[in-house]
Amino acid sequence: MPIISVVTCNNPDLYVWKWPSDELGTWTQLVVSESQEAVLLKDGIKVRVFGPGRYTLDTANIPVLSELFKIPFGESPFKATIWFVNKTFTLDVPWGTSDPIQLQDPKYGVMLPVRARGQFGVQIEDSAKFLIKIAGTRSTIDRDVLISEFKGVVLEQVKGVVAGKLVKDRISILDVNAYLKDISDAVQAGVEIDFSEFGVKVVKFKIVSISTPEDDTAVKQLKAALAKKAEMNIVGYSYQQERSFDTMESAASNPGSGGSGLMGA
């Protein structure tokens, strides 16, 4: 395979892109665009990170080449991989629960299925760390790959923070949307720690909604009970009074019952 003379990346839609050939030479030109970094790896080990600019991969510019690759001065071929990393902020990475999370409502004591969705922004802060921990055998990383890699981390934080907020402040799941800003901030603090282990910075983590499926039996029963309670509060009588009214109506409609004399009186 011929040694490439110019190595560059012109695909702004990818977070990471690997140059398809590992045949390089000390005369190869590396061109890194604005908002990019290029990482030179040898056997999965970082050799050097390049910021925007044009570079010649020779031993004069990269002295470590002569040590790591045993390259003498002059024009010589060598094998290594070059990865391009997009350093721009991406502010619209979506996330959501594919299946409802089962949580106990601390106010009413019933188990309810909960869905959540939102979005967040990311920036690859440490290119070499990200490549070594995430890239693996992939040659590209796009939005779908990033979401699949970090979805579990996000959902774990969301579940923990939401459950903690509900229990601590005794908030019903049905009322939780009034606290989305506080919950979003708490989740961001958690995911920032998790993401930083992979060289990724999280910005503007946002929970758009936390909801319960309308067709769920437990949700229907709870909402029906709350509607009945609200009706009683408006009319001005209690559940016990309503049961008494039901009992008296039943007795009055059944003259042969033992209580008919009392009802007649």
- Of residues 18, 255, 33, 251, the one with CA closest to residue 139: 18
CB under 8 Å to 137, separation ≥6 — which residues?
none
Q: Give the model's pLDDT for residue 73.
A: 58
Between 111 and 231, whose confidence is greater? 111
Q: What is the C-alpha to C-alpha distance for residues 79 and 259, in angstroms, rounded to an integer?
A: 99
Q: Using 50, 70 and 90 to split pLDDT, how confident is the model at 259? A: very low
Between 39 and 4, whose confidence is greater? 39
Mean pLDDT of 26-37: 91
Q: Give the model's pLDDT for residue 107.
A: 83
Q: Using 50, 70 and 90 to split pLDDT, how confident is the model at 77? A: confident
pTM as predicted: 0.73
Q: How many residues does the chain have?
A: 265
CB under 8 Å to 39, separation ≥6 — which residues?
46, 48, 49, 50, 82, 83, 85, 127, 128, 131
CA 244 and chain centroid, separation: 52
Q: What is the C-alpha to C-alpha distance for residues 55 and 124, in angstroms, rounded to an integer?
A: 22
Q: Which residue has the tokens 């909801």?
A: 211
Q: Would you give the DSSP letter of residue 142?
A: -
Share of the chain above pLDDT 70, in %: 82
Least confident segment among 11-20, 52-61, 182-191, 213-222: 213-222
CB under 8 Å to 240, separation ≥6 — which residues?
none
Between 77 and 41, whose confidence is greater? 41
Q: What is the residue-averaged pLDDT of the chain? A: 82
- Of residues 79, 31, 68, the one with CA closest to residue 51: 31
Q: Give the model's pLDDT for residue 246.
A: 55
